[in-house]
Amino acid sequence: MKFTDGHWRMRAGVEPAYPVEVLDVEPGQGTLTIHAPSYPVTSRLDLQKGPVFTVDISAPMPGVVGVSVTHYAGVRPRPPRFELFANGSGEARVNVAEDVATLTSGALTVRVDRARWRLDFLAGDRVLTTSGHEDLAFVTVAGGGHFVRERLRLGVGAAVYGLGERFGPLVKNGQVVDIWNADGGSSSEQAYKNVPFFLTNAGYGVFVDHPGQVSFEVASEDVTRAQFSVAGQTLRYYLIYGPTPKEILRRYTALTGRSALPPAWSFGLWLSTSFNTPYDEATVNSFVSGMSERDIPLSVFHFDCFWMREINWCDFEWDPRTFPDPRGMLARLKASGLRICVWINPYIAQRSPLFAEGMARGYLLKRPDGNVWQWDLWQPGLAVVDFTNPEAREWYAAKLDAVLDMGVDCFKSDFGERIPTDVEYFDGSDPELMHNYYTYLYNKTVFDLLRKRRGEGDAVVFARSATVGSQQFPVHWGGDNSSTYESMAETLRGGLSLALSGFGFWSHDIGGFEGTPSAELFKRWIPFGLLSSHSRLHGNYSYRVPWQFDEESVTVLRRYTRLKARLMPYLYQAAVTAHRDGIPMLRAMILEFPDDPACVYLDRQYLLGADLLVAPVFSAEGEVSYYVPAGTWTHFLTGEQLHGPAWVRERHDFTSLPLLARPGSVIPVGSVDSRPDYDYTDGVTLHAYQLSEGTVRTVIPTTTGEPAATFTTTRTGDELRVSVDHPPPSWHLFLAGVAVDAVSGAPAVAHGHGTLVTGGPGGLTIRLAR
């Protein structure tokens, strides 16, 4: 929200007040409370008016500082509040001197200038950012209410990322971002997943602890400031120190919650009925058998909305006209090794029997006059489940529980964005604050049921809407994109932005949801879709089985589905990292290369995990341009070497794309290409690329995320040694682009673009050729 008219004046009807000096500082146990008048104080006569800013500074965990700014403290707080996982401020150090007061949390210090209003956030002696003259403000807008605004300085070259899933440029500088969930597709300023958190390449991130609408002006109203404002009397935000983007994400996700670990089977290929296409059991069987006949491994089959009868969504009952024997059908599908997903949403159509039941029990959102809130958009007369009511949550979960009893394994938890504000909640929640927060309660209800029924590590949803903390309930997909190359690129931008907002796992509709992709577009999209954490074929009015396009589409889908299965030892360890450390699987280049200025704006390429660079091809002709950071990188599929830093332009056919292995990496590749869940250690091949002096540890996880085996690869001069704890029955080492002179106790053969060595329980010792 903009308040100013240029640099010198305020807009008409806008009355600001700014802190100008510090009246007093009250130190506490790891806290500071500051009273800052909005006028100079020359005598006690000046202290008979306001406003006075009350600023509370705390430290919820090392490296994080909380700032809470209050005007009127008498406003009754109403839920909801974000659930935070702070570990206390016991380690914070407070010092109050005559000229300054400081609070230090880990390596982060906030310094308060007592003579004039100024908050400096420092790492050691380095100022990260500042709230200075006329940055913090109480603002009254004629006819528009009261706001609290903060502005933090953006230094030269500082770039801002995150703020949820956003489909515009990856760097948010120059953008206006309103944190307000909306069902706006993937080609507008609206977003399904709004997160009031950003990180920078300047060593810090900022989380605004406000569940409702937050307005961000990122170097837009004032081009040297990151500004954020909320309606009301209080603003609370946390400044999170890195210094690297990875460390910022580690701390942010420690504060707001880290993702559960999705089951290994969920990383395979998901196939959908699509949405408005006709389908019945025969259609489903033709898809499943068609994939099997073409040797394309399929892990999950998804039934979209019309598994239920039209205008009955949601009643959670199979449409008997098209699915007369749902239990038998599901049993037959599962006998082939498939998992089953079905579509749900939190809305109850008037025709659904659940409408009358929910209304009678008080489980549906009501208008202030006590009537059930209804409208006709999406489903005739639909109502919205009130998830603030514990009994309503249990009721909704019980309906889903019955579906699980039939053989369903997971849910696509769609919608959750179009939440009205002219309602009253069971627990008295503020409707404006609940608009974004609603999706948290919705998806938590679904995920908790799955976790309860299936156990820790076997629960997964396919969710569209999200807010702060929703990353705990994976997986999220990118919403309604379109079948164009432009939408393919905006889809990637949305995924990268979401990942930089603390979300570890992400998917999207391969080929686009709206429209029907050309065969060329579909084939270009497939590698991008399979080289994501989760992979789904889904459309609106047309099917997404590959033989609907051409035979080469079948070949491409088979190739990359099987490649992803073989990469699972590497991918699942990256998933464990996302689960335990909060570092996403999909990584913008700036996350891995924060000191490389060429990576600041890159949003058409990414790293999948730490060591595989992916550059999707966004043209039918196969032309692709991408950046290679410093070092010697290796094309994973061909063995060709590229020397960075350099910009590269290539042409690829439909079976290929730039997929580069990072120098110094050891990438474990599995021996199974027919499914994503298998023993990752048995027959694993360690692909080693451009190893330099030093040691690389490679952890091979089990399908529950625990370490199954750890390989330690050490290079000293021309000698390479590999040791392993819990050695598997068989394993191999592939040295890309390297010849060997001698191997201790194991055969070595030239293989493709390198040397393949068979390992044993005692490890390997190799003499490299000079």
Distance, CA of 579 to CA of 253 (rounded, Å): 10
**Residues whose CB falls within 8 Å of the CB of residue 617, separated by 6 or more in sequence, listed in order:** 524, 527, 623, 624, 652, 657, 658
For 222-235, the DSSP string reads STTEEEEEEESSEE
Q: What is the radius of gyration, based on Cα positions, of the chain?
A: 28
**Measuring CA to CA, how many Å separate 687 from each of 634, 668, 715, 736?**
11, 6, 15, 7
Q: Coil, strand or helix: which one is 282?
A: helix
Count how many residues are written for the chain.
770
One-letter amino acid for residue 535 of the chain: S
Q: Exactly one of 120, 304, 386, 417 is catalytic; which is it?
A: 417
Respond yes or no: is residue 401 known to be catalytic: no
Catalytic one among 409, 480, 490, 509?
480
Report the Cα–Cα distance between both ends of the chain, in Å, rounded: 63
Catalytic residue among 165, 414, 509, 611: 414
Work out whether strand 623-635 and strand 24-28 pair parallel, antiparallel, or are unpaired. Answer: unpaired
Given a contact cutoff of 8 angstroms between Cβ atoms, the answer to whether 333 and 273 are in contact is no
Structural contact between residues 634 and 687, judged by C-beta atoms closer than 8 angstroms: no
* Cβ within 8 Å of residue 752, ≥6 positions away: 639
**Cβ neighbour number for residue 77 with a 10 Å cutoff:** 8
Q: What is the largest CA-CA distance in the chain?
A: 91
Contacts of 515 (CB under 8 A, 6+ apart): 482, 483, 484, 540, 541, 542
Instruction: Give yes or no: 414 in active site.
Output: yes
Q: Is 458 a catalytic residue?
A: no
Instruction: Produce one character per residue of 310-322: b if its CB has 16 or more CB atoms within 10 Å, e if not.
Output: eebbbbbbbbeeb
Helix axes 431-454 and 390-405, enclosed angle (nearest 10): 40
Active-site annotation, residues = 414, 417, 480
